[in-house]
Structure 1
């Protein structure tokens, strides 16, 4: 999965997400315990005290998670941030700008009642007024600790191979990182939408379409990404347009998700398609060649009739 072709950078733009969230915590000090004897610092360290209800700050973590989810859906982790398809940069900026607006609005609302929030926290913890009150900070300090920014970078590789070695290493891992991220998303999709199901709705296809969109935007990262995108296109086209998805169509999708969950197998099948194997052949291998015999005491709920030969059948890994 090595790809050190720096022309990938022609289509990739690096993004750093810089979100600061105040934790409402301060380090405990010996003075907080009224001079009580404490163990030496090399033996044990003091924890922290909360000077405001952490629930008041939950919205900021939620908004940061929204931004991270957006970037994970579109880009691939790269250089401590994300590698984003350059043609998606404007779209990303529009969505990040919307999230930032929500963040700044929440910040203004929190700061407008910050003093009241601290007082409420003190009331909720009678007997500890001094501990909380002596540690409170100003609203201006809190304002400086809440921020939402991002930076884009266009990378130009050094002409000296020795100097550029580190960047080449990062480039060589992009394809593997991308397939690993797809595997993680597919595993989550399996648990939420496919595990133990004998029928699903079209809503269950939404996370698969997100995976497809991510891969389609990053086809320049790794040659074997393109056939995986084609495989998903073929799978979507073979699903009925309306109603529940059951029978062989469901088994096919279960097989596709199983394939996506295994990066090594996914790369292998991507290479097979690059070598000429048709995506319909791959999909045919995900459905049993014949109806499996079922013991009389355990009748089957549905018969799965394959649409094609299973010459290239893959292991179900016990998923169906």
Structure 2
């Protein structure tokens, strides 16, 4: 089923470019680094690189960049080499990036202050290779200018003169990109928390809530996003409560994740809801039960614990594929 995003989606997004630079602390090896050693000719083999400081001292910068990317992936969708961010979540994104940049700048300042000490430790910890390292050491100013954390936000206008620039194609593919990203998140959640499990903790619902939040913020991207939001909301409502998720409730969540892992099936089911099928009946089909067979957990007045659902085998239910597998 074809997914196409209209150019009017640009009215609801801000494009964001993440601009993070991390010093590699590497220098290219040269024949002179090996003195009189007999090396193969360049057409046969090329030399690699040498580290001039301990990689662990730079690890924090990669970690902070990964945090920024993860946050942007949770909220936005990839677009123009960066992300399309919903306008109503711009402040949230800006606050998140500001906080990460503050940590980045602090880590950079600490690294710069200790730079000479870090280099000395690396040389000391690699006896016999002192000249190889020291001969490639760069100045602290050089390093300072190669550690940076910034971003740019900008609006993209629906201007006719850009029709042939590839912008139309970029916007048109936003829906496909969004459903592909949802499928990737669902697959990762399945492998990490659900595969082979007969029960899971409430924490296992976190990626599903993340999927719901992302879709809810990007409903303008494609008409079938809104019904999928409704489907996920309905599923989460059916597994509310405390205690482990098992039995019919686990079967319901597993069925939902199976659906979310396939962009084509996701679009198909979104279309079915648009055409009149209810999200509730679709979820009933995932577990092959009526709505009454999948009650919410009820807090016991005596001890506040959840009532446990009977094991799947005792229910005698089977998961209806609905064309998912």
With normalisation by structure 1, the TM-score equals 0.90
Preserved contact between residue 157 and residue 167 of structure 1 (Cα < 8 Å): no
Aligned CA distance change for structure 1 residues 54 and 136 (closer, same or farther; 3 Å)? same
Q: Which residue of 1 aligns with 2:189?
A: 189
Q: Which residue of 2 aligns with 1:296?
A: none
Aligned CA distance change for structure 1 residues 161 and 4 (closer, same or farther; 3 Å)? farther
Q: Between Structure 1 and Structure 2, how many residues are aligned? A: 305
Alignment partners' CA distance in 2, 1:149 and 1:277 = 46
Q: Which residue of 2 aligns with 1:244?
A: 244
Give the secondary-structure state (helix, strand or coil) at the position aligned to 2:9.
helix
Q: Matches of residues 18-97 of structure 1 in structure 2 within 5 Å?
A: 18-97=19-98
Q: How far does the alpha carbon of each residue in 1:128-154 deviate from its partner, in whole angstroms, 9 at most, with x for none?
A: 110000000011110011000000010
Q: Matches of residues 1-320 of structure 1 in structure 2 within 5 Å?
A: 1-160=2-161, 162-164=163-165, 166-289=166-289, 302-304=313-315, 314-315=322-323, 317=325
Alignment partners' CA distance in 1, 2:132 and 2:4 = 56
Alignment partners' CA distance in 1, 2:315 and 2:64 = 44
Give the secondary-structure state (helix, strand or coil) at the position aligned to 1:43.
coil
Give the secondary-structure state (helix, strand or coil) at the position aligned to 2:60.
helix
Give the secondary-structure state (helix, strand or coil) at the position aligned to 1:286.
helix
Q: CA deviation at 1:172?
A: 1.2
Preserved contact between residue 16 and residue 84 of structure 2 (Cα < 8 Å): yes
With normalisation by structure 2, the TM-score equals 0.89
Q: How far does the alpha carbon of each residue in 1:67-89 deviate from its partner, in whole angstroms, 9 at most, with x for none?
A: 00000000000010001001111
Alignment partners' CA distance in 2, 1:305 and 1:243 = 23
Structure 2 residue runs without a partner (length 5+) = 294-310
Preserved contact between residue 15 and residue 156 of structure 2 (Cα < 8 Å): yes
Q: How far does the alpha carbon of each residue in 1:216-268 deviate from its partner, in whole angstroms, 9 at most, with x for none?
A: 00000011100000001111111141222221111011000000011111111
Alignment partners' CA distance in 2, 1:224 and 1:92 = 25
Aligned CA distance change for structure 1 residues 5 and 60 (closer, same or farther; 3 Å)? same
